[in-house]
C-alpha cells in the first residue's frame, strides 16, 4: 500500500525548516550550555572546546533566529562583552533538549548511568517528556499517533 504522505509536498515542511536552524551538532551543544546557565562566550569555549569561529557562527545564527538575545556586561577594567540569554522562542526548545537527553540516557549513557539528571525544582522528581493530545489524553506509544495533512499542506505536483 502506498503511504498517503507521498501525496503531499515537503517543500514547506516545518521539521525540515527547524532542522535547518537546529540540525547541526554544535547548535544543540550551545543551547545545552545556555540552558545550563553558561551564557558567556569564553565560558562556552572553555567548557565545550567548540572552535572559536564555529561558536561565534552558532551564536550569531541563534541570535538572528530570535532564539537567543545578547545582553551586554562589563567586567571591571575590561571592554564591553555580551552574554547570551534565551528568548521565549528559545525557552520553547527546552522539551526538545529534554527529549534528546532522555534518548541519549537510554541508549548512549555510560554503564554508571547518565551524567546529568533533570529534576523538578519543587519536589525533586526526575523530569521527562511525554506526549498528550490536545484533549489531554496521554499517549504511551508513538504507534498511537497518526499524521494527516494540516491547514498548510500543499498537494504534491
Q: 52-85, pLDDT tens digit by residue?
A: 999 999 999 999 999 999 999 999 999 999 999 9
CATH 1.10.10.10 fits 4-144, yes or no: yes
As given in the structure block, the three cell numbers for residue 80 are: 564591553
Residue 17, pLDDT above cutoff 90: yes
- The domain locations on the chain are 4-144
Q: 22-34, pLDDT tens digit by residue?
A: 999 999 999 999 9
| Cα three-residue angle 137-142-147, rounded to 5 degrees | 85
pLDDT for position 157? 84
Burial class (CB in 10 A: 0-12, 13-18, 19+), 36: exposed
Q: How confident is the model at residue 114 (pLDDT cuts 50, 70, 90)?
A: very high
Amino acid at each position: 500500500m502506498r503511504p498517503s504522505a507521498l501525496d503531499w509536498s515537503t517543500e514547506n515542511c516545518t521539521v525540515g525548516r527547524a532542522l535547518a536552524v537546529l540540525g547541526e551538532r554544535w547548535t544543540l551543544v550551545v543551547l545545552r550550555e545556555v540552558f545550563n546557565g553558561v551564557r558567556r562566550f569564553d565560558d562556552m569555549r572553555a567548557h565545550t572546546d567548540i572552535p572559536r569561529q564555529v561558536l561565534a557562527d552558532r551564536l550569531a545564527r541563534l541570535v538572528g533566529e530570535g532564539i537567543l538575545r545578547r545582553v551586554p556586561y562589563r567586567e571591571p577594567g575590561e571592554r564591553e562583552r555580551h552574554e547570551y540569554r534565551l528568548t521565549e522562542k528559545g525557552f520553547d526548545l527546552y522539551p526538545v533538549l529534554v527529549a534528546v537527553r532522555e534518548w541519549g540516557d537510554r541508549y548512549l549513557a555510560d554503564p554508571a548511568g547518565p551524567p546529568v539528571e533533570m529534576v523538578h525544582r519543587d519536589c525533586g522528581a526526575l523530569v521527562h517528556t511525554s506526549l498528550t493530545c490536545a484533549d489531554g489524553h496521554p499517549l504511551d506509544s508513538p504507534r498511537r499517533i497518526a499524521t494527516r495533512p494540516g491547514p498548510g499542506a500543499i498537494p504534491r505536483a
